[in-house]
Amino acid sequence: MAIIYGKKKRRQNNIIFTLVTTLLICTIFAVTVSSFYQDAKEEAYEMLHIQTKQIKDDLVLQLKSDRENLATMANFAAKLHENGEDYDYIFDAFNPIGMISGIGVLEPDGTFVTKVGSMNIADKISYEEELAKGEYISGRVEDITREGQQIVRSAVPIISGGESIGILYGVIKLDVINEKYGRMAKELDAQLFVYDKETGKFLIDTIDKNPGALSNFATRVYNDDYSYDKLVTQDNGYSSFKSILTGEDLYIHYSTIEDFDWGIMMARYETQVFNKTHHLSRLLAKTFGAMAIAVTLYFIVIMKKERSKTYITTQASNIRKMLLEANRENKNVYEALKTIREIAMARSAFYVDTDGEDYNDIQSALSGELLVEGERTYFVSEIFRYAVDLYNLKHLPLAMMTIVPGSHMMKTNPKLYEFMSMHHITDVTVAIITDKNNHIGILGTINNRKNQIIRNLLEEIAVCFSIAIFNKKHLKKTEQAATTDALTGAQNRVAYKRDVVQFDEEKPEQFSCLYVDVNELHARNNKYGHAAGDEMLIFIANTLKDVFYGHHIYRMGGDEFLVFAKNVKQDDIKESIETFIDQLKSVNYNVAIGMSYRTQNMNCEEMVREAEVRMYEAKARYYQNKENASVAQEEENNYVRTKTGIREIDTMLSVLKEHYNGIYRVSLDTDSAHRILMPGYLHYNENENNFSKLLSKYIEEMVHPDFHRTVSSFLNYDALKQQMMEGSIPHTTFKKVNGETVVLSVYKLEEETANPQETLWVFAKG
């Protein structure tokens, strides 16, 4: 009886142990699956956040680039108008660029001019209201030339002589913008919405072929504490609601595109978010069933496997996070390889692809064994060829393998066997990724001691790794296209605006700014055609790149270039300028150059303004004297008043008057002045032999009384000299009696001179 009771007791204990263990396993299973779903949700939100920014940045770059192109065309249209020509040349020369598929000009009387003809649309659109908007990009609006068609409109005013003569429109078709960014969203396996925040109308909707408006989401059933009000009132955030199309939860990240007052949303259905998690959950459920049958025998082994899987999943998630930030942090690719190498306890980890991308991380103690140049190229190509022959990988998107220099390799590829033996390579574990365009990426490790773990890890992250590298290449190409001038290959204004922020933060100890303007480009275009003008611009740009190699060169406008040079002595820059001018003389080209130089108190905006003013002075001297190109930084020569170059001076003055009220060259010792902005042949008869009296009269008659004291302080020449000797640029902002704002700045004309005598007084429009 005692024996029966003892067996029963042990059986009960076993049942209790099994039940308790099973309950514990169920709890672990539930918690693990829940954490997987939570991690998947958080990872989905994080990825949506990053991908939203990626598409937003690309869209902003594209729209700004398109607007820059429109601004360039508007400037050219203004020149055509000044020359009495119509816009046919622009329309004939226009080809779709960026996302702009067509252009047209709205004239003040309501006439809309296109390549195919003109029409009066004054009853459809107000010129005054459009002009008041300035440069803008609309939301989804009706096409004013085609009923029933909706477009996005980009507008840039055409300014001539300080007045608007028309508005240049660029047409962005909804199907063009939808096709481009819909394709990007599809590649990211997500849904994309872009909408006008003012009207709520969708510009891009990858779910519905007939885009509606944000208000369509007002009736959705929102999850957790999300709501439609938060979606429309907050600039950035996350949301989730039930889709009426599929009944699934839709996970969303939304953000504002500040520059254009648009909103953007990226979304994924729950089946997309939890696809891997569902798969893993089913796998765990099957594992649980097996564990429930023989829990006492396999409990420790199974738990060990689960820990290993959790470890791999965690490490894979960490690596994915690094890769998702790789566009902003280039080192993240190397950090991801380092993590893989350390997990595998390998000699090295590497990634290469057929587009030339090549990344490698090796133990610091073994850096001397790193394969370089031809050795590396041979090794990777032979490893892939050997794998294809062995595993028939030609049609597999992802293949995992471990290759060792064994007897099979000795027979089939003795050269590779000898190579691996000579370089002490005992094994290579690789993931080979092949896309539909036959681009091949190889992610692998050499001489690892955790073969199974690393195989699982590589399988988890290989595709993500390949996508991250692809995105880096795509972003780099996009940024390069958006920041490069198409004609000359120099950097454009987008790059300039980006770089000046960095220069102002960096503040190099020796910093130069050169403002270069091409002389007689208009005359060359008229005489030989625009192809000759383009040839001239390309030659000058290439000469700048050659002479100022390693420095920052920008094309600022039609015939204007800017050069920033860091950590170069002033004498060396001047020598380079002379070399540049000599090379242009050999082909009978001339330029006007203004230079500003700083060793302290550097501010890019001030330096560009100073260099620009000096350039205009050199340009005036060129057209007055008809001599070789001059540099305003050098010693000044007396002006020779002639009647040559009057048309060119008029053109230059029309540009100057857009930005400046007056420019004087003033001798502080003799109190004499020369007015640059209005040359002598226009018969300006004011007394310039006593500049202080001229300035006093200007203050009394033109300056608002509240600013008399401030501007009068500039009559103290000794104080001005002291400020300039200390490296400062005397300047002040004041208002005229008519309400206009003016910025007065005084520059030295001779940087080398300790006691400033010759100065440049610039009255800029505020």
By the 8 A CB rule, do 213 and 140 touch? Answer: no
Instruction: Determine the pLDDT at residue 680.
Output: 36
Where is 640: in which H helix or E strand?
Answer: none
Q: Answer for the pair 648, 523: CB distance below 8 angstroms, yes or no.
A: yes
The residue behind tokens 């048309």 is 647
Contact 613, 663 (CB under 8 A): yes
Say whether pLDDT at 678 is over 70.
Answer: no
**How does pLDDT run across 376-432, given as a tens digit for each residue?**
788 888 877 777 676 665 556 777 888 888 888 888 888 988 988 888 888 888 888
Region of 727 (left: φ > 0; alpha: ψ -120 to 50; beta: rest) is left
16 class by beta-carbon count within 10 Å (0-12 exposed, 13-18 middle, 19+ buried) = exposed
Question: In angstroms, rounded to a whole number, what is the distance separating the alpha carbons of residues 21 and 293?
Answer: 12
Contact 325, 419 (CB under 8 A): no
| Measured distance CA(513)–CA(349) in Å, rounded | 45
Contact 554, 493 (CB under 8 A): yes
Q: Are 135 and 114 in contact (CB under 8 A)?
A: no
Secondary structure of residue 556 in the 3-state scheme: coil
Write down the pLDDT at residue 158.
Answer: 92
Cβ-based burial of 741 (10 A; exposed 0-12, middle 13-18, buried ≥19): exposed
Residue 288, pLDDT above cutoff 80: no
CB within 8 A of 315, min separation 6: which ones? 339, 343, 457
- Looking up tokens 């005992």 gives 426
- 544, pLDDT greater than 50: yes
Answer for the pair 754, 725: CB distance below 8 angstroms, yes or no. yes
Residues 6 or more apart whose CB falls under 8 angstroms from that of 77 comprise 87, 90, 105, 158, 166, 168
Helices within 83-165 (DSSP H only): 88-93, 127-133
What percent of the chain stands above pLDDT 90? 12
Close Cβ partners of 644 (under 8 Å, ≥ 6 residues apart): 623, 624, 626
pLDDT at residue 651, as a whole number: 53
Which letter does DSSP use for residue 110 in this model?
Answer: S
Q: How far apart are CA 765 and CA 144, in angstroms?
A: 37
Q: Is residue 633 predicted with pLDDT exceeding 80?
A: no
Q: What pLDDT shows up at residue 641?
A: 31
Of 155, 185, 157, residue with least CA distance to 66: 155
**245-267: string of b/e by CB count within 10 Å (b at 16+)?**
eeeebbbbbbbebeebebbbbbb
Query: What is the pLDDT confidence band of residue 301, given thresholds at 50, 70 and 90?
Result: low
- Alpha helices per DSSP H over 325-368: 331-344
Q: What share of the chain is helix, strand, coil (3-state, %, to 5)?
A: 50, 25, 25
Instruction: Provide φ and ψ at 603, rounded to 5°.
Output: -140, 115
Mean pLDDT of the chain: 80
Measured CA to CA, the distance from residue 447 to residue 4 in angstroms comes to 59
In this prediction, residue 668 carries a pLDDT of 87
> Comparing C-alpha atoms, which of 205, 202, 240, 191 is closest to residue 220?
240
Q: Which residue has the higher pLDDT, 251 or 357?
A: 251
Within 8 A by CB and 6+ apart from 686, the residues are 675, 694
pLDDT tops 90 at residue 444: no
Give CA–CA dist 764/662, Å, rounded.
Answer: 7
Cβ atoms within 10 Å of 579's Cβ, excluding its own: 14
At residue 524, what is the residue type? R
What is the structure's pLDDT at 13? 58
Question: What b/e sequence results for 716-739 when a residue is b if at least 16 CB atoms lie within 10 Å of its CB, and e otherwise?
Answer: ebeebbeebeeeebbbeebebeee
For 591-603, write each residue's pLDDT tens digit: 989 898 887 767 8
Closest by CA to 59, choosing from 124, 157, 137, 133, is 137
For residues 189 and 272, the answer to whether their CB atoms sit within 8 Å is yes
Whether 45 shows a pLDDT value over 90: the answer reads: no
pLDDT digits (tens, 9 = 90+) for 164-210: 999 999 999 888 888 888 888 888 888 899 998 888 888 888 888 77
Q: What is d(CA 665, CA 675) in angstroms, rounded to the nearest whole number? A: 6
pLDDT at position 684 over 50? no
Tell me, what's the pLDDT at 87?
84
Residue 754 predicted with pLDDT over 70: no
Q: Which residues contact 448 (CB under 8 A, 6 or more apart)?
A: 344, 345, 346, 347, 427, 429, 454
- How many residues belong to the chain? 766
Distance CA 531, CA 78 (A): 20
CA distance 234 to 223: 17
Given this model, what pLDDT does residue 646 score? 42
The residue among 54, 58, 259, 76 whose CA lies nearest residue 154 is: 259
253 pLDDT exceeds 80?
yes
Contact by Cβ (8 Å): 594, 630: no
Sign, CA torsion 49/54/60/66: negative
pLDDT of residue 634: 39
User: What mean pLDDT do residues 106-114 have?
Assistant: 90
Which pLDDT score is estimated for 632?
Answer: 40
- At 4, the pLDDT band (50, 70, 90 cuts) reads very low
Q: What is the model's pLDDT at position 293?
A: 67
Compute the half-sphere exposure of residue 136: CA atoms within 13 Å on the CB side of its CA. Answer: 12
Higher pLDDT, 679 or 22: 22
Range 212-218 average pLDDT: 87
Q: In what order do the strands lie in the sheet with 117-120?
A: 117-120, 111-114, 102-106, 163-173, 150-160, 136-142
Structure tokens at 571: 């004498």
Contact 181, 55 (CB under 8 A): yes
Sheet of 191-196: strand order equals 202-205, 191-196, 262-269, 249-257, 237-242
Cα(519)–Cα(539) distance, rounded to whole angstroms? 14
- List, for residues 450-487, the tens digit of each pLDDT value: 888 888 888 888 788 777 777 777 776 777 777 788 88
Torsion over CA: 275, 278, 281, 287 (sign): negative
